[in-house]
């Protein structure tokens, strides 16, 4: 095991050996093994956005096996999906890549300003399918956020007792936030802190903009001149907000973008001390050859082989 992975695991010393082993499995898998960086392929979009919007741009992606094989061929750290997709492929890919079972999902068939996901799977399902972790989405800022927080805490406690790691998707939403506010720096940093406080080992959130949404927080940012001019500055602040780098923070790719925009984001995440990316639609909505080229370049960015190596992360070792 590399020193970088040991430093990261040292930040989770309160966890049992099962959790530490499963975190290590993800950190030591794929082309980024041992670097302390991660790229995960998540595929919950069929439930979250609908099948045509998600898979029609690349019809082979309607097949659950396509995604698992893509993650393996690209040398990624893990593959995350919902119960149905994992049940369809787990027997065929057992042991080939770490699996993460998302335990909740939210559909778009009823318009709502304050989304509330439904629990669609259990910790026992994750164990049955050979997963290394559970995943769960929270929506800080929504009316029912407290219900989500309480459900997550119960599921996280059960998962940790069974030796599973916990991955939290933390996406600010709700009628109290403007659309711009959903990715505001102060809001995203707050959402990362909430996920960490609820027991997440790995936190997934969106790349923040320089916008500041909350009036009282804005005063602090401006008075203390907290850096936010560049994407790397903002990544650094979000990582700092997740226990000063003691929790793994990954950033989502979002809607499909052109390659150069994604590469610029990857370099900013790397240079800002982020631990990596979760890339879904930007990979599987391309044809497989293009997706593999894209993911190869993203891996190289996090390896530091395409540009000068990013600055040292703020992970504490004591």
Give the residue numbers annotated as catalytic, written as ranges: 204
- Asked if 103 and 155 touch (Cβ cutoff 8 Å), the reply is yes
Q: Which residue's structure tokens are 């499909």?
A: 256
Which residues have CB under 8 Å from 109's CB, separation 6+? none
Nearest to 96 by CA among 122, 70, 128: 70
- Would you state the structure tokens that stand for residue 53, as one six-digit string? 């919007």
| Ramachandran bin of 35, using left for φ above 0, alpha for ψ from -120 to 50, beta for the remaining angles | alpha
- Asked if 164 and 134 touch (Cβ cutoff 8 Å), the reply is yes
Distances in whole angstroms, Cα of residue 272 to Cα of each of 54, 81, 218, 258:
30, 28, 21, 21
Q: How far apart are CA 24 and CA 6, in angstroms?
A: 9
Distances in whole angstroms, Cα of residue 189 to Cα of each of 80, 89, 107, 213:
23, 35, 26, 12
What DSSP string describes 94-162?
A: TTTS-EEEE-EE--SSS--SS--PEE---HHHHHHTT-SEEEEEE-TTSTTHHHHHHHHHHHHHHHHHT
Distances in whole angstroms, Cα of residue 54 to Cα of each of 43, 44, 100, 169, 295:
9, 9, 20, 19, 19
Q: Name the CA dihedral angle for 181, 200, 310, 277, rounded to a multiple of 10 degrees.
A: -70
For the chain, give the number of residues: 318
């Amino acid at each position: 095991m590399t020193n970088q992975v040991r430093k990261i695991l040292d930040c989770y010393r309160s966890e049992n050996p099962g959790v530490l082993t499963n975190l290590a499995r993800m950190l030591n898998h794929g082309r980024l093994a041992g670097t302390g960086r991660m790229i995960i392929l998540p595929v919950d979009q069929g439930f979250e956005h609908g099948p045509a919007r998600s898979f029609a741009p690349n019809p082979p992606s309607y097949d659950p096996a396509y995604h698992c094989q893509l993650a393996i061929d690209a040398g990624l750290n893990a593959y995350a999906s919902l119960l149905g997709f994992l049940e369809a492929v787990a027997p065929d890919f057992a042991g080939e890549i770490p699996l993460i079972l998302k335990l909740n999902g939210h559909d778009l068939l009823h318009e709502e300003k304050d989304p509330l996901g439904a629990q669609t799977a259990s910790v026992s399902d994750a164990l049955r399918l050979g997963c290394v972790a559970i995943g769960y989405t929270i929506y800080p800022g929504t009316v029912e956020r407290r219900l989500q927080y309480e459900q997550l805490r119960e599921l996280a406690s059960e998962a940790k007792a069974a030796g599973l790691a916990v991955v939290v998707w933390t996406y600010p939403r709700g009628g109290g936030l403007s659309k711009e506010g959903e990715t505001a720096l102060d809001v995203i940093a707050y959402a990362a802190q909430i996920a960490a406080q609820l027991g997440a080992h790995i936190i997934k959130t969106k790349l923040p903009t320089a916008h500041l949404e909350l009036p009282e927080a804005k005063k602090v940012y401006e008075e203390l001149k907290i850096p936010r001019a560049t994407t790397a500055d903002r990544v650094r602040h979000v990582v700092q907000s997740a226990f000063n780098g003691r929790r793994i923070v990954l950033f989502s790719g979002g809607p499909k973008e052109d390659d150069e925009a994604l590469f610029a984001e990857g370099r900013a995440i790397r240079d800002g001390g982020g631990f990596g990316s979760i890339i879904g639609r930007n990979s599987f909505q391309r044809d497989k050859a293009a997706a593999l080229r894209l993911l190869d370049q993203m891996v190289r960015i996090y390896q530091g082989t395409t540009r000068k190596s990013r600055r040292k992360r703020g992970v504490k070792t004591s």
